[in-house]
Amino acid sequence: MSTSIPLISSPISEPWTAWILLLLLLLGGMANVLQPDSVVGSFATILTKPERQYTDTQRTVLGQICIHLFQIGTLGMAYYLFCFRSGDFTLARYGVILLMVAMIYGLKLLIMLLVSYTFQLQKRCASITVHYENLLCVFCCALYPLLLVMQSGGTTLLLRTLVIILAGAYVLLLAFKYCRAYLQSPMALINILLFTLTLDVLPLLVGYYGTEYILSQSLVQL
């Protein structure tokens, strides 16, 4: 009498992982179609001046929804694959991580709306917000191929290092944008540093440790 050996649950053994990655790719493609060059064109803004305005890209409600879902879904999958070591790789856990990322994402958008009151530079804030959204889109697009490799081959030390380097480059580019937009006095540098740590570094750390907690033994039933 033969007995079947259960397969170890992993990103590559779970079919839903590939479907989620495909859905994220479709969301990114739809966002670029509904808002021409909103995704591809964001790469052209990496090193441009923050004061430059981009009025040629017409935003649509559906396009914005697609791009926000693409970014939230990509960040959620990145946290899950980055922190996953062993155990069951389940859709339920990904859903909880996704909810956490969405809450952090929404809070960051709210803080960006309040930045103008902090620096009292409404026009520059309106401009830097566009660059902020573009850099986040670039960050998620750069993460996506790494997710494909981690999903199929596991999270190796090299891949983890690449993700950390990518996240570091993303934060440094944002800090560079903030300095070019707001650095008018030595005191402003302190505000920029605090703003970068609060809005960019802290959410990344909260997402990482939050995912570690979700994957801990206390939530193993998920």
Q: Does some domain include residue 111?
A: yes
| Out of 17-26, 55-64, 102-111, least confident range | 55-64
Residue pLDDT, tens place only, 101-129? 999 999 888 877 776 566 555 556 666 77
**Number of domains the chain contains:** 1
Per-residue confidence (pLDDT) for residue 2, from 0 to 100: 43
Cα-Cα-Cα-Cα dihedral of 117, 182, 101, 7, to 10°? 180
Question: Is 171:51 a contact under the CB 8 Å cutoff?
Answer: no
Query: End-to-end distance of the chain based on CA atoms, in angstroms?
Result: 33
Q: Does some domain include residue 6?
A: no
Q: Does some domain include residue 31?
A: yes
- Which letter does DSSP use for residue 6 in this model? P
Question: Is 49:7 a contact under the CB 8 Å cutoff?
Answer: no
Quick one: pLDDT band at residue 32, thresholds 50, 70, 90?
confident
Q: Does some domain include residue 7?
A: no
Q: Does some domain include residue 2?
A: no
Q: Does some domain include residue 3?
A: no
Q: Does some domain include residue 113?
A: yes
68 φ/ψ angles, rounded to the nearest 5 degrees: -70, -40
Q: How far apart are CA 93 and CA 220, in angstroms?
A: 9
Q: What global pTM score does this model have?
A: 0.87
155 φ/ψ angles, rounded to the nearest 5 degrees: -90, 95
Average pLDDT, the chain: 83
The domain containing residue 145 runs over which residues?
A: 15-219
Nearest to 74 by CA among 37, 20, 30, 131: 20
